[in-house]
């Protein structure tokens, strides 16, 4: 099972939590790292022929796998898009009854080219060898499939690209209906099929906060296999159900290679039967594969069969061969990847690895990632960090501290420091920091931000990965963070330090679009947005107003054209109303006003 990922932002009750609503109105300093020149890779190298497979978008140096899969079913069969379980839903009830659909219809992030592995988005018909080499994990034990084409729903593999089902997740629901099966003159029939099933439940929180109550605290996933039969176009009737919840009578334990049989009663006079195979309520769970279906009456020979061998397979989409290896930097036949990364920060910035102790070494750990690095999404994706596709706020170059990619040979404690910033003339308490962030929490990994006005560091952010710590910050790979830097009276310079600490083969922290300046808020009527009413307030008080309620967006005590410029930049944005100290803002309250620096990070695997 893949590592479960979540993305719920909990700022906790620390003193800096309420600062998440600070916004930049006047920029004093910004950096996006796009001016850096990236050099060739060192340990992350390419081989002359494709050797590995991993989920990725179609990047240079990757190749599709031929004759791999299709979503097109046999003639007469139907894929049920956005499967809603024929209306058997209880979407907002965390204590829903087994067999109902909870949370959402369909597959989370379906149709997003950068999230979710296309091959496993709903029911797929896949070459058996192609399926099992996506990842084995007992898939290879489905011997009854006889190395042929199988029909499979695999939420585990689907979740391996980008944001997968989402962070936090929507669930995976998929339906597949057969053609009409002639059952005229029959009363009791048996559906038989080969099956590979691995169960998993109650360990993935749904994205809808309404489900966070109840006995499972939002972890309401229950990978469920369900079969319906409908007759002559009538209402589908459930004829079989397997739950992954071991506390339920419908629980079906792991059975990765079995022959299953389902008795079905045919109503009197029925002419045709249609079967639907569904998967419900799966998070990053496991799979269900079927093959060699037949319907028979009694001990008679089957009168309907399907083994999927008639479908035509096409090339893969996201499951691609790559030319990637993380072996030593002198592997025979391997070459560096050009324009990949640099450890050299922008002018005036510094990287300090004193806390790390051991020097950076291209023969111990993966050299590219043994400190704060500056790289691109394409290179990180090439090395396997597909989570970064979800960091949509970031473009171009970025800075990343990635202990997962660095490997277990290195414990990262690395500090990235801005140049000295001139803040002379800035009023006390007016200085703000704003940046975009991709954070994947794990283990002891710790993110700290400090500011130094010349007399020592003051901590303004401290994210922990321990859920029991008051400073716990859960995974969020695409958020904007805004902080007050609390500059004292008379301060004339400032330095900000981004510290990634105590991370050994954990996950990552990436930052981008960094801005330091004074705050701005054009929501003059405090109703949560910047709109025409706020413009009228500014217009009425131009030249006379002195407060936010009178149109002073930048807090300098004067309502003037600078405040109008801030209103223009925020027009249409929501979530701008003041949040009380200690409150956890809605996601919109972190909406950003500018473009700026660009750092990035992400991973899809742990090298343990």
- The pTM assigned to this predicted structure is 0.59
Angle at 121 between CA 99 and CA 93, to 5 degrees: 30
Estimate to the nearest angstrom the gap between the alpha carbon of 163 and the chain centroid: 2
pLDDT at 47: 63
User: How far apart (Å, rounded) are the C-alpha atoms in residues 335 and 578?
Assistant: 54
Say if residue 22's pLDDT is above 50.
Answer: no
Q: 600 or 113, which is more confident?
A: 113
- Worst-scoring range by mean pLDDT, 73-87, 381-395, 525-539? 381-395
Average pLDDT of the residues in 433-442: 91
**Distance, CA of 601 to chain centre:** 12
Question: Greatest CA span in the chain, whole angstroms?
Answer: 94
- pLDDT score of 231 more than 90: yes
Name the more confident of 440 and 593.
440
Question: Residue 8 corresponds to which tokens in the numbers above?
Answer: 């719920």
User: Of 122-126, 243-247, 377-381, 455-459, which gets the smallest average pLDDT?
Assistant: 377-381
Place of tokens 């479908």: 311
**What is each CA distance from 570 to 25, 314, 352, 433, 530, in whole angstroms?**
10, 47, 37, 17, 6
CATH code of the domain occupying 55-319: 2.60.120.200
Q: What percent of the chain has pLDDT over 70?
A: 82
Residue 23: pLDDT over 60:
no
Nearest to 198 by CA among 263, 135, 118, 249: 135
Beta strands in 403-445 (DSSP E): 412-417, 421-422, 431-440
Nearest to residue 484, comparing CAs of 27, 32, 17, 30? 17
Digit-coded pLDDT (tens) for 113-151: 888 999 999 999 999 988 998 888 999 999 999 878 999
Please list, residue by residue across 319-332, b when 16 or more beta carbons sit within 10 angstroms of its beta carbon and e when fewer do. Answer: bbbbbbebeeeeee
Fold of 17-42+331-519: Jelly Rolls (2.60.120)
Question: CA angle, corner 469, sides to 466 and 470, nearest 5?
Answer: 140
Average pLDDT over residues 294-322: 88
Predicted local distance difference test score (pLDDT) of residue 362: 53
Are domains 17-42+331-519 and 55-319 of this chain identical in fold? yes
pLDDT at 541 over 80: yes
Q: Where in the chain are the domains?
A: 17-42+331-519, 55-319, 532-577
Q: Is 145 left (phi over 0), alpha (psi -120 to 50) or beta?
A: alpha
Rounded to 10 deg, the angle between the 561-570 and 532-541 helix axes is 180
Tell me the average pLDDT of the chain: 83
Tokens matching residue 596: 């700026």
- 71 burial via Cβ count (<10 Å: 0-12, 13-18, 19+): middle
């Amino acid at each position: 099972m893949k590592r479960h990922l979540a993305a719920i932002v909990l700022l906790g009750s620390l003193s800096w939590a309420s600062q998440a609503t600070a916004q930049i109105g006047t920029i004093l300093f910004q950096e996006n790292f796009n001016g850096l020149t990236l050099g060739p890779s060192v340990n992350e190298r390419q081989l002359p022929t494709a050797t590995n497979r991993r989920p990725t978008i179609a990047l240079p140096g990757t190749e599709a796998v031929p004759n791999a899969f299709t979503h097109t079913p046999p003639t007469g069969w139907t894929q049920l898009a956005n499967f809603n379980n024929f209306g058997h839903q209880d979407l907002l009830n965390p204590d829903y009854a087994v067999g109902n659909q909870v949370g959402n219809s369909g597959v989370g992030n379906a149709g997003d080219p950068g999230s979710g592995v296309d091959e496993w988005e709903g029911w797929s018909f896949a070459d058996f060898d192609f399926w099992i080499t996506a990842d084995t994990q007992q898939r290879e034990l489905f011997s009854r499939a006889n190395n042929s084409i199988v029909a499979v729903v695999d939420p585990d593999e689907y979740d391996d690209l980008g944001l997968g089902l989402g962070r936090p997740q929507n669930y995976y629901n998929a339906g597949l209906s057969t053609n009409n099966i002639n059952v005229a003159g029959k009363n009791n029939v048996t559906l038989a099929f080969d099956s590979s099933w691995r169960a998993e439940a109650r360990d993935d929180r749904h994205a809808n906060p309404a489900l966070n109550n109840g006995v499972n605290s939002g972890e309401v996933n229950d990978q469920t296999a369900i079969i319906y039969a409908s007759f002559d176009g009538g209402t589908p009737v459930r004829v079989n159900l397997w739950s992954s919840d071991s506390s339920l009578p419908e629980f079906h334990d792991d059975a990765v290679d079995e022959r299953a049989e389902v008795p079905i009663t045919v109503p009197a006079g029925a002419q045709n039967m249609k079967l639907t195979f569904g998967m419900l309520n799966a998070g990053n769970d496991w799979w269900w594969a079927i093959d060699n279906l037949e319907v028979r009456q009694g001990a008679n020979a089957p009168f309907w069969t399907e083994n999927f061998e008639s479908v035509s397979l096409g090339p893969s989409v996201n499951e691609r061969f790559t030319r990637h290896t993380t072996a030593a930097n002198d592997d025979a036949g391997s070459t560096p990847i050009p324009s990949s990364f640099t450890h050299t920060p922008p002018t005036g910035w510094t990287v300090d690895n004193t806390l790390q102790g051991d020097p950076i070494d291209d023969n111990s750990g993966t050299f590219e990632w043994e400190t704060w690095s500056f790289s691109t999404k394409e290179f990180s994706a090439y090395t396997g960090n597909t989570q970064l596709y979800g960091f949509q706020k970031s473009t171009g170059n970025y800075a990343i501290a990635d202990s997962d990619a660095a490997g277990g040979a290195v414990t990262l404690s690395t500090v990235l420091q801005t140049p000295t910033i001139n803040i002379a003339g800035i009023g006390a308490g007016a200085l703000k920091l704003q940046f975009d962030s991709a954070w994947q929490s794990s283990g002891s990994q710790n993110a700290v931000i400090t500011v130094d006005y010349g007399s020592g560091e003051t901590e303004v952010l401290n994210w922990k990965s321990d859920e029991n710590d008051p400073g716990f910050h859960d995974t969020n790979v695409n958020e904007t963070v805004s902080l007050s830097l609390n500059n004292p009276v008379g301060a004339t310079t400032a330095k900000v330090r981004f510290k990634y600490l105590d991370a050994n083969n954990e996950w990552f922290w990436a930052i981008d679009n960094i801005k330091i300046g004074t705050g701005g808020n054009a929501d003059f009527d405090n109703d949560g947005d910047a709109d025409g009413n706020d413009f009228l307030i500014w217009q009425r008080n131009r030249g006379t107003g002195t407060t936010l309620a009178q149109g002073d967006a930048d807090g300098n005590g004067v309502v003037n054209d600078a405040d109008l410029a801030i209103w223009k930049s925020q027009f249409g944005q929501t979530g701008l109303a003041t949040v009380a100290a200690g409150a956890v803002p809605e996601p919109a309250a972190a909406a950003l006003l500018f473009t700026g620096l660009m750092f990035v990070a992400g991973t899809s695997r742990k090298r343990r």
